[in-house]
Structure 1
Amino acid sequence: MSEITCKCGHVNPEGTELCLSCGRALTTDAEEKKTSDVMRYEGMARRSQTYNGSIIDKVWNFFSSVKVGVWLIVITLSASALGTIFPQVLFISPLEAPEVYYEERYGVAGEIYYILGFHDLYNSWWYLLLIAAIGTSIIIASLDRVIPLYKALKHQRVNRHASFMKRQRIYTEYPLYSSDTFSKIKDGLRNKRYRIREEDGNLLAEKGRFSRWGPYVNHTGLIIFLIGAMLRFVPGMYVDEVMWIREGETMAIPGTDQEYFLKSEGFTVETYDADEDKEVFGATIDRVGAIAKNFQTDAILLKREDGVAGDSSNLVEVEEHPIRVNQPFKFDNFALYQVDFRQGEFRSMSFNLVQKESGDSFGPFEIDLTQPEDEYQLDDDHRVELMGYYPDFSGFENGEPQSPSPVPNNPAFLFKLFSPEHPDGEVAFIAIQQNLEPLGENDYQLSFNGVETRDVSGLTVRKDLTLWILALGGAIFMIGVVQGAYWNHRRVWVKRTEEGGMLVSGHTNKNWFGLRKDLEAAFTNTGLEQPKDQHEQNLNKVSAGGAKEEENRDTTS
């Protein structure tokens, strides 16, 4: 790495535009640049503008670009918008296969949507890669700028070269210098809460330096927020699952590694009464019918103390708790929310085996629609074999019964009926309001004897150990916003000249009006004119020149 030696003798790192000691411009480009551009990082060298040889340098330079960061954010936001065109897989029924659902519901567009991973956008590998790229861009861009800025501000020199002073937007040269005037300027700046440093009769007054770190505090908050968002994909850190539990059923709670189980003791639905609540809900009840007032699951939490995962034989009761809407059941960082229900789901169906000619009945026998048996023995001579079970019968396809889901919404059965007259069995297909004999007319048939129903609770299981990380990142981000928005870095240099005069210049990263007001207060009792704003002077000259040119054109005409 080559170095740049200034005329003052100070050795500066390669890429530095202003001498860190005296403030002279070290390159022709620095002399031609606007002062605001050079002073953004105090003229200090940035790694991305210095090295470009190795692959590491090229990767660093790529991610340090603000344009790259903006484009990554635009692409991510565009992908997020596309993810809202069709429902996310989280919001479709868990009983439907996503690859079938999107194609059948939305055609070719839905199929492409599924193939590209938009159906589960926030878990797709390429979306996570975009988030990681944004985080990398924020980290590298921040380090590329904050390190040289920190070094430059930490070692600010009081005595600056005249060329540095003249380049500042606020600048005025005074022909005479007196210690009394100098003291009054110093006291005036101190009264405006500037921190004063003196060196060889020169002065540097500074305040609000901490505001320069506002954008980097923002970036730190964003990085923490992104870390919290990505930790949601780490097992055990975040759970958002749906479980459907039937009355009387005991099942493992998703996300607990089958350590906790839930037993549903019953489900209750309360509706608003058309007479008692007529004043408030009368019109709505007349229009839409019954309105749910409360629906709750009376649940018992069980815990597996030992044994293999999934073993429900050795469970200990932990707590009994009703789960109501907006009143979740919380335990061990988990929360169970009542979000949905289904009433009247078929639980079991019973049949009789009947001899058609004589009308003799054999049975009844009951089929558990959740766990049906393979065979039902009625007596020594009669039995029924279950050849096929179709919980959600939707019709025939190529002669085969179809069931799109395992939920017993419309159960159908394929039986073989054994009797002394037919030791090889007779085949019968039974569905609701259907009794088919596919291999010819049978001597025996099954008659419907009754059905038992039960309610099903829809619960959401949630666990979020990343919430405090997201909150911390958001809080730090807002601190950075306030820090950078409501304060600004102001500096005033006062330099003695060899001719006995005095140079005064000032700089701020924003809010020039505030700096001018501070200088006005500091120069009030000095008898000197307030330092000029060269930018305003140039604008006035341009305006005056334009007015004079227009006047000349009018005179000529």
Structure 2
Amino acid sequence: MNHIKCECGHVNPEGTVLCEACGKPIEMNQHIDGNDKKKLLNMRYEGSARRSKTYNKTIIDKIWNFFSSVKVGVWLIVIALVASGIGTIFPQEQYIPSTAVSRDPQIYYPETFGILGKIYYQLGFHNLYSSWWYLLLIALIGISLVICSLDRFVPLYKALKRQKAKRHESFINRQRFYSKTESVEQGDIESVKESLRKQRYKVKEEDGHLVAEKGRFSRWGPYVNHIGLIIILLAALLRTTPLLYLDDYVWVREGELKVIPGTDGEYYIENKEFILETYDQEDERFKEAIAKEGIVPSNFQSNVIIYKSGDSEVLGAETDLEKVTEDEIRMNYPLKFDGYALYQQGYQLNEFANMTFKIYEMNDPDAEALGEFTIDLYNMKHEYKLDNGYKVVVAEYYPDYKLTEDGVKSETNDSNNPAFVFNLYPPESEDYEISFVGDVIGAAEDLGIDTTVVELQPMGNVVGTFAPSIDPTGENQYRILIDSIDFDRKSGLTVRKDYTLPVFGFGAIIFMIGVIQGMYWQHRRIWIQRKGDGVLLAGHTNKNWFGLKKDIEKAIDGTAINMVEDQNEEE
């Protein structure tokens, strides 16, 4: 890098506006449009050379210069704000309601929000805040803040650290506040010096020249802001690490013991009881809502026990579980333990648990059942052998099936609407018949599929319509019918762990300190330069010029030193 030598002997880096030692302008430009009025000095960063204004040769220089631009930083923030706003148009994937027909985002967004929802999903906005490009955008904002700060902080720090009382005359007479006095007694200067100290100025003297300064720390306010913002952005990036942040969902049936997701099998939850309380149907306040929804919950909660697994080789073995706590989880009243929090988010009252089926002869509907078997949907076997020699093999199982033009599919892994494909082996036979059992009526009619092959059977007290077995070959001798169903109730709980909140809080505190630091204090400087029998008086501040003028007026009160004039107003 080239260097520029000032007449005072100090060598300044290229790009310096004011000599770092004496303050003399590097480019003397005393006139404006041919007038004799002095051009005021640009005191930004004390006239020091910034790296971005000096180096522009290598690829590193170009990258540094790009990110040191305030415009680039502002545009990155604007893009991040717009993207964040788009992410709030529809709920993010983790906030899909537990009561949704399907929690599969590929199905939920188009069915709930139409074509806009489909576009929203296909563009990846359903997982916006954890997407690679959004995190990259946050990282770029952080890089911009760091480079912007270093590009300005380093030269400013060097310049302020090198404050001298003796300055070049052109530095003094081109300040905004300036006055010249032809004759001043030494006693007047001593009086001014004492007055400035009483106003909490730090006075420095050099060869009869004075500089009084206070509030320098306010200049670091914007950089403290940047540090706070960088900490906040770092906390946002740390939320992507499972070690520090967890946001998951778990369904737990009454009486079920289940591992808590995200804890690596360390913690288990047992749902002792689910309680649902509803508003009275006669309550006038909720009559309209009850008529529309059927029931309106006033409270739903889960009474749970949290266990911690021991050191057994069989992780989670019930005998090795140590009870951590037992409590109620209600809406807005989460259960907190060991850095985790469990929130009551949803519930399901009628989930299929056990289904009993009976086998009948196809051509004799009045005959007695040839046998029956029961399927535990949470502990399903591959085959079921009956005492009379019949054997049923579960060939296919759809927990939450939907009949489409492309065939039968399962929307979720939850047993909300189960369907089965059975292979039925008669006694002492190696040949089997294929039967499909499920609730196909509604889906088939929606698609315009002929449902005349479906023969409805009475189901007693079971709510819903279920089809008997459908014979895909048309040659079956047996049919399988649903005889009874047992339902379970289950709780939907959100599992959260967030160690980044203290980091967010710390960053916010640092940011507010910077705001207060830069807003309520000002960096004020007053120079008194001896010139023969008189003095030159100048003042500068980063803001609140009126306050600085009052300080100068108070300091020279009762002396022969002339009051400063605002040269900015003269121009």
Q: Same fold (TM over 0.5)?
A: yes
Matched, 1:55 2:88: no
Aligned partner of 1:541 in structure 2 is: none
Moved more, 508-517 or 432-441: 432-441
Moved more, 266-275 or 337-346: 266-275
Looking at structure 2, the residues matched to 176 and 37 of structure 1 have their Cα atoms a distance apart, in angstroms, of 26
Matched, 1:454 2:458: no
Contact in 2 for aligned 1:20/1:157 (Cα 8 Å): no
Aligned partner of 2:304 in structure 1 is: 299
Distance 1:118 1:66, change over 3 A: same
2:401 aligned counterpart, secondary structure? coil
After TM superposition, list the pairs within 5 Å mapping 1:21-40 onto structure 2.
Answer: 21-28=21-28, 38-40=42-44
Matched, 1:321 2:327: yes
CA offsets, 1:335-379, max 9 Å, x none? Answer: 111111111111111122234537132443211123322222221
Looking at structure 2, the residues matched to 310 and 439 of structure 1 have their Cα atoms a distance apart, in angstroms, of 48
Aligned partner of 1:416 in structure 2 is: 423
Alpha-carbon deviation of 1:493? Answer: 0.5
After TM superposition, list the pairs within 5 Å mapping 1:397-412 onto structure 2.
Answer: 397-398=405-406, 400-412=407-419
Pairing partner for 1:87 from 66, 91, 113: 91
Letter in 2 for 1:431: G
After TM superposition, list the pairs within 5 Å mapping 1:348-497 onto structure 2.
Answer: 348-355=354-361, 357=364, 359-398=367-406, 400-420=407-427, 424-432=431-439, 433-435=466-468, 436-440=470-474, 442-497=476-531
After TM superposition, list the pairs within 5 Å mapping 1:256-275 onto structure 2.
Answer: 256-273=263-280
Looking at structure 1, the residues matched to 11 and 438 of structure 2 have their Cα atoms a distance apart, in angstroms, of 92
Alpha-carbon deviation of 1:442? Answer: 3.9
2:42 aligned counterpart, secondary structure? helix
Structure 1 regions of 5+ residues with no counterpart? 539-557
Aligned partner of 1:211 in structure 2 is: 218
1:22 aligned counterpart, secondary structure? coil
Contact in 1 for aligned 2:266/2:316 (Cα 8 Å): no
Alpha-carbon deviation of 1:326? Answer: 2.0
2:564 aligned counterpart, secondary structure? coil
Looking at structure 1, the residues matched to 227 and 467 of structure 2 have their Cα atoms a distance apart, in angstroms, of 67
Moved more, 36-45 or 282-291: 282-291
Alpha-carbon deviation of 1:528? Answer: 4.4
CA RMSD of aligned residues (A): 2.7
Aligned partner of 1:188 in structure 2 is: 195
CA offsets, 1:424-479, max 9 Å, x none? Answer: 23333222421222222544333332111111111111101111111000000010
Contact in 1 for aligned 2:357/2:481 (Cα 8 Å): yes
Aligned partner of 1:509 in structure 2 is: 542
1:386 aligned counterpart, secondary structure? strand
Aligned partner of 2:168 in structure 1 is: 161
Letter in 1 for 2:379: Q
Letter in 1 for 2:304: A
Looking at structure 1, the residues matched to 92 and 129 of structure 2 have their Cα atoms a distance apart, in angstroms, of 9
Letter in 1 for 2:189: F
Distance 1:310 1:376, change over 3 A: same
Q: Percent identity?
A: 50
After TM superposition, list the pairs within 5 Å mapping 1:196-207 onto structure 2.
Answer: 196-207=203-214
Looking at structure 1, the residues matched to 472 and 313 of structure 2 have their Cα atoms a distance apart, in angstroms, of 46
CA offsets, 1:196-255, max 9 Å, x none? Answer: 112222111111111000000000111111111111112311001111112222222111
CA offsets, 1:488-518, max 9 Å, x none? Answer: 11111011102x1111000001111111111
TM-score normalized with structure 1 length = 0.88
Aligned partner of 1:20 in structure 2 is: 20
Pairing partner for 1:336 from 342, 347, 354: 342
Aligned partner of 2:557 in structure 1 is: 524
CA offsets, 1:96-118, max 9 Å, x none? Answer: 44345446666776555445432
Distance 1:30 1:68, change over 3 A: farther
In terms of fraction of residues, the more helix-rich structure is 1
Distance 1:521 1:386, change over 3 A: same
Alpha-carbon deviation of 1:417? Answer: 3.0
Distance 1:112 1:448, change over 3 A: closer
